[in-house]
Amino acid sequence: MTVYRDLSAIVGRTPLLRLRHASESTGCEVLAKAEFLSPGGSIKDRTALGLLLDAEQRGLIRTGGTIVEGTAGNTGIGLGLLGASRGYRTIIFMPETQSREKIDALRLTGADVRLVPAVPYKDLNHYAHQARAYAATLNNDDAGSAWFANQFDNTANRDFHEATTGVEIWEQTDGRVDGFVCSAGTGGTLAGVGRALKARRPDMRIALADPAGSALASYVNNGELVATGQSISEGIGSSRITANFEGAPIDLAWSIPDDESVPLLHRLLHEEGWCVGGSSGVNLAGAMRLARELGPGHTVVTVLADAGTRYQAKLFNPAFLREKNIPVPEWLARAFPA
Ligand code: PMP
């Protein structure tokens, strides 16, 4: 009998998928980890589990204690579900601009959700600062009662991806992988997988697919944090170098516009049946760019980070897409007539 005793046992070990259009049009094998199949619906379940296991091991969170975190949503959903299954309370600070579907999913986990204005990181009202300050207040009243997970600068995030996502990619491809590419929010996925793969094969190509409006591609290419444009993607891009991103072994970086990434994710759903979110579209665009850079015959891996249903009202809404000047495929316009 094979039985999993709780939620944490089925985080990770996601299937590796072949993306047909991306592979056929580049002459490469373009593969992706199906992270949207995780119990909380995203790759950030790994981050949540990695941070929580590290905190438990170090005695930073006590039985019945409170998890406090700032998140664009997915890490909060992972923490909320893991918290429920392990007997912790969860309090989440989140920018109010995030999708309704993610906010609802987070509330369903039982987390106490505090929506705050979306302001730059340098503003003390930024969601990450508010979460840190709130945990400190709880600990002032009752020492050791709260733990601030700190996904951006707690490198237990990157380390868990190095030990799980990166190793899984190596094993699932039997070591026949030439490059890995993804976008970065905290940078935990890219840095962790990059480290795992480079350690096994130093000439591995690691690439950043950065959404428009993020400063990270410019940082990798020119050493300067400069952002241009904007993107409807959520949970990715950054105006600063986090501790998780710092020192990541990145060889190439591109800024990817929405009118490149969103049509690719529409096509992925319509022709291959995978319904994924905006960051996965950016990852897919990046995987095709990396495949073209390497040339036919290579194998490129990326991640499908969460499900498209988490952004239904934006990514699959013809009126919203038209407002943003993103092409609306005919089948989508027919499925959702005005
Ligand atoms: N995709 C989605 C959907 C996310 O929620 C996040 C994290 N906020 C990322 C990608 C970025 O992953 P990481 O934090 O590991 O850079």
pLDDT for the residue 327: 97
Which residue CA neighbors atom 11 of ligand 1 most closely? Answer: 185
Q: Reduce the DSSP state of residue 147 to 3 states and report it.
A: strand
Ligand 1 pocket test: which of 71, 74, 284 has the largest number of ligand atoms within 8 Å of its C-beta?
A: 74
Q: Tell me how far the alpha carbon of residue 235 lies from the centroid of ligand 1, in angstroms.
A: 5
Question: Which strands, in side-by-side order, build the sheet including 252-256?
Answer: 16-18, 29-34, 299-304, 179-182, 205-211, 252-256
Per-residue model confidence as pLDDT tens digits over 66-124:
999 999 899 999 999 999 999 999 999 999 998 899 999 999 999 999 999 999 999 99
Task: Please list every protein residue whose CB sits less than 6 Å from any atom of ligand 1.
Answer: 42, 44, 72, 74, 183-189, 235-236, 277, 279, 305-306
d(CA 148, CA 67): 6
Give the helix/strand (H/E) hosting 334. Answer: helix 330-335
Can you give 230-259 as a three-state secondary structure string? CCCCCCCCCCCCCCCCCCCCCCEEEEECHH
211/230 Cα distance (integer angstroms): 8
Contact 214, 203 (CB under 8 A): no
Q: Ligand 1, residue 277: give the atom nearest the CA.
A: 3
- Distance (angstroms) between ligand 1 centre and the Cα of 173 equals 23
Active site residue 198: no
Q: Residue type for 56, please?
A: E
> For strand 252-256 and strand 205-211, is the pairing parallel, antiparallel, or unpaired?
parallel
Task: Give residue 110 CA to ligand 1 midpoint distance, Å.
Answer: 22
Which residue has a Cα nearest atom 4 of ligand 1? Answer: 235
How many angstroms is it from 236 CA to the middle of ligand 1? 6
What is the reported pLDDT for 72? 86
Average model confidence (pLDDT) across the chain:
97
Quote the pLDDT of residue 132: 98
Give the confidence band of 196 by pLDDT, cuts at 50, 70, 90.
Answer: very high
**How far, in whole angstroms, is CA 27 from its chain's centroid?**
27
**Which atom number of ligand 1 is nearest to the Cα of residue 306?**
3
Q: How far is Cα of residue 316 from the mean position of the Cα atoms in its chain? A: 19
Q: Which ligand 1 atom is nearest residue 42's CA?
A: 3
Residue 338 has pLDDT above 90, yes or no: no
pLDDT of residue 217: 98
Ligand 1 midpoint to CA 255 (Å) = 16
pTM of this prediction exceeds 0.85: yes
Give the max Cα distance, the chain. 61
Ligand 1 atom index nearest CA of 192:
15
Average pLDDT over every residue of 126-148: 97
C-alpha–C-alpha distance, residues 170 and 262, integer Å: 28
CB under 8 Å to 109, separation ≥6 — which residues? Answer: 40, 76, 77, 80, 81, 83, 84, 90
